[in-house]
Structures are given as C-alpha cells and as structure tokens.
C-alpha cells in the first residue's frame, strides 16, 4: 500500500535552529548506523523510518560505511526513499559522511580531497540522490592539512552535491580551526556531531562553548550510550541486544558491572520523574539549548515510540541534576 505520512506530523515535534544558520532540525533525529544494513530485516527498518517521519523526524543520518556490509545502509535507505519518501524529498534532511575506512588503497580513508569527493559521489549513487543536505568529515585526520579537507567540503557545496557541511569527532582546538577555515572559504560550518551522553561528557569541556560562540549547531550521537542508558541491560545482556550481536559496535565487555550499577540508580531517578531511563537520558541531553538535536538509533518501532516521549519533559530541577551527578561521580 502506498505510504501516506501522518498529516499531523509537524505538530508532534519541536524544531530547533541549527546554530545561527537558517536550518531547523527536529529535536530528535534518527541515525542509520545499526539496524538498516544488509544483515537487517527490510520490513522492520521500513516501519521504523515510516514511524519516524510520521512523528515529525525530518532528519536521517547516514555515512558511507554504515551497514554491514559498508554502503548497505545507504543502499537500503535509497531504496526506501524511492518506494516511500520520493514525494517528500524536500521535507527531508539527509546527511552522510566520509572519514573512516571505506575501500582499499590510499584513497579510501581519512581526509584527503580525493577520498571525500570520491566517497560522496558513491554515496549519492547508492542513495539515488542528486544532493545530500549535510555532508560531514567523519573524524579528524592528523596527516592531511586541515585546509585540504575543508577545501573539499567547500567544493562539495559549490558543486551542489551538499547544501551544508559539518564535522564530527573534532576536539575543541581542531574544531575551532576547521570552523575558521570554512568561514574564510565562505562555506560556514553548519554543525558538529560529537559523542555525548550521561556517560560521555567531554563536549562540556570547551566544545559546546565554542560551538555556541561560532553559531555552529550540535547533534550528539549515541545519547543512549548505544543502549546502555536504557533499561535493557539491567538484568544481563539480552540475546537480541547490540552488545550480544556479532555485528554490533557495543562490546559485551563495555557493559561492565560498574556501568550497570549506575544504570540501575539512574533508572530509579527516571522512574521518579515519570520517565523511562531512555527518555530521561535524552531529555538530559536536550535540556541544554546549545544542543540542536539528539541523534538516536532504534532497532524496533517500540523503542522509537518510547524515546520520542522524552520531549514531554525536558525540564530538570536542580536537585534532580545533583542526584544524577552523584550517581555518575
């Protein structure tokens, strides 16, 4: 049956301005790192994407290497774009990236102009798109002059292959240099994509201040710490969880006893707020106005339903924040 999106979708989501740009992003965005690859079930990820769009999620985040196998998430997304979302392309913000290993030889990794230009051409083919909305350099490359990498991003925008560009995993000093070079080139840096969650706090040490000062948006990834900041691992490692899967990037040994002990305490605090732990973890990231959007993953529709309800309570009393800090200390 032809997909008909929910006509009420834009009433269900908050949209935040991305830095000082003209672009607004949904407070919750969906990433396709896991669960959308060649190893995953078509009907399952189709249902997740449809639900996301029905609930006002307009932003979908990909990368050249998402799968497995690498490239398959873009292929699958492209297939569903054609089948379900073709009439809504102008309502979607699609991002992709290059920066990690993609193909053998010296031109399939890191940050050279050769790699970025070739990779984006491949991504566009896989997704069947003429342009992406945001193209990122996925991680800093100490061996390529930053000027070269940023010049590639600038060229990509001038060629019309991306509307905006961003950087990911850049530490504050590297980010400041990248933002400054892009400004000089006349292609402002739209957004930074760092890892940020209750468990991973490095962005608080300078990066968020820098982004605010420069008018650059921020879209934290893995805000649920790949699922650890949910009730999923309270009683061990479920067989269908990311930590249990061969293809998952969360290793069993990352689900430590100490983490689980903290998660149990956080879970009680979430219950006192009338939220699930996943909801509280997302609300906690979104409470900061410098955050444009939280970039979540989901392996089934029920998780997305659950996570989206974080938007119902983004307020924290100072005492609640203090209790959270005590658990994390």
Ligand X SMILES: NC(=O)c1ccc[n+]([C@@H]2O[C@H](COP(=O)([O-])OP(=O)(O)OC[C@H]3O[C@@H](n4cnc5c(N)ncnc54)[C@H](OP(=O)(O)O)[C@@H]3O)[C@@H](O)[C@H]2O)c1
Q: Which residues bind ligand X (CB under 6 A)?
A: 31-35, 61, 138, 168-169, 193, 221-227, 230, 232, 241-242, 278, 295-299, 303, 306-307
- C-beta of 149 vs 159, nearer to ligand X: 149
CB of residue 321 vs ligand X: minimum separation in angstroms?
21
- C-beta of 97 vs 161, nearer to ligand X: 97
- C-beta of 146 vs 298, nearer to ligand X: 298
CB of residue 67 vs ligand X: minimum separation in angstroms?
12
CB of residue 272 vs ligand X: minimum separation in angstroms?
18
- C-beta of 96 vs 187, nearer to ligand X: 96
Can you spell out the DSSP letters for 17-30? Answer: E-TTSS-EEESEEE
- C-beta of 147 vs 302, nearer to ligand X: 302
- C-beta of 169 vs 283, nearer to ligand X: 169
Q: How far apart are CA 181 and CA 178, in angstroms?
A: 5
- C-beta of 172 vs 227, nearer to ligand X: 227
- Evaluated on CA atoms 211, 215, 216, 222, the torsion sign reads positive
Residues 285/197, Cβ–Cβ less than 8 Å: yes
152-167 as b/e: b if 16+ CB within 10 A: bbbbbbeeebbbbbbb
- C-beta of 78 vs 223, nearer to ligand X: 223
CB of residue 295 vs ligand X: minimum separation in angstroms?
4
Q: How far apart are CA 290 and CA 218, in angstroms?
A: 7
Strand partners, 197: 200
Q: Which of left, alpha, beta for 232 (phi over 0: left; psi -120 to 50: alpha)?
A: alpha
CB of residue 36 vs ligand X: minimum separation in angstroms?
8
CB of residue 264 vs ligand X: minimum separation in angstroms?
15
CB of residue 54 vs ligand X: minimum separation in angstroms?
17
Cis amide prior to 68 (ω within 30 degrees): yes
**CA-to-CA separations, 130 to 14, 59, 150, 160, 161, in angstroms, rounded:** 28, 17, 21, 8, 7
Residues 60/94, Cβ–Cβ less than 8 Å: yes
CB of residue 146 vs ligand X: minimum separation in angstroms?
18
Backbone dihedral angles phi then psi of residue 65, each to the nearest 5 degrees: -95, 5
Residues 225/199, Cβ–Cβ less than 8 Å: yes
CB of residue 1 vs ligand X: minimum separation in angstroms?
27
- C-beta of 149 vs 222, nearer to ligand X: 222
Q: How far apart are CA 188 and CA 180, in angstroms?
A: 9
**Pairing relationship of beta strands 15-17 and 24-26 according to DSSP bridges:** antiparallel
Q: How far apart are CA 198 and CA 165, in angstroms?
A: 27
């Amino acid at each position: 049956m032809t997909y008909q999106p929910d006509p009420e979708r834009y009433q269900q989501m908050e949209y935040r301005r991305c830095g000082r740009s003209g672009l607004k992003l949904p407070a919750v965005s969906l990433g396709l790192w896991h669960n959308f690859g060649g190893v995953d079930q078509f009907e399952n990820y189709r249902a997740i994407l449809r639900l996301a769009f029905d609930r006002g999620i307009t932003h979908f985040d990909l990368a050249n290497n998402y799968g497995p196998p690498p490239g398959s998430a873009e292929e699958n997304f492209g297939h569903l774009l054609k089948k379900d979302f073709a009439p809504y392309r102008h309502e979607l913000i699609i991002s992709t990236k290059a920066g990690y290993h993609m193909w053998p030889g010296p031109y399939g990794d890191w940050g050279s102009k050769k790699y970025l230009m070739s990779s984006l051409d491949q991504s566009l083919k896989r997704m069947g798109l003429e342009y992406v909305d945001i193209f990122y350099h996925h991680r800093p490359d100490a061996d390529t002059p930053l000027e070269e990498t940023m010049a590639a991003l600038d060229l990509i925008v001038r060629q019309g292959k991306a509307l905006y560009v961003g950087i990911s995993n850049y530490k504050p000093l590297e980010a400041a240099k990248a933002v400054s070079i892009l400004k000089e080139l006349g292609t402002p840096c739209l957004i930074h994509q760092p890892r940020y969650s209750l468990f991973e706090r490095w962005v608080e040490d300078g990066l968020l201040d820098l982004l605010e000062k420069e008018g650059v948006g921020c879209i934290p990834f893995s805000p649920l710490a790949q699922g650890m900041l949910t009730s999923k691992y309270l009683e061990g490692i479920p067989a269908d969880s990311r930590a249990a899967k061969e293809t998952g990037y969360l290793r069993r040994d990352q689900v430590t006893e100490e983490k689980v002990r903290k998660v149990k305490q956080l879970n009680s605090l979430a219950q006192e707020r009338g939220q699930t732990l996943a909801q509280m973890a997302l609300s906690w990231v979104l409470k900061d106005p410098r955050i444009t959007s939280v970039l979540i993953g989901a392996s089934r529709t029920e998780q997305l339903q659950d996570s989206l309800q974080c938007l119902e309570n983004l307020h924290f009393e100072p005492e609640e924040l203090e209790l959270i800090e005590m658990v994390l200390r």
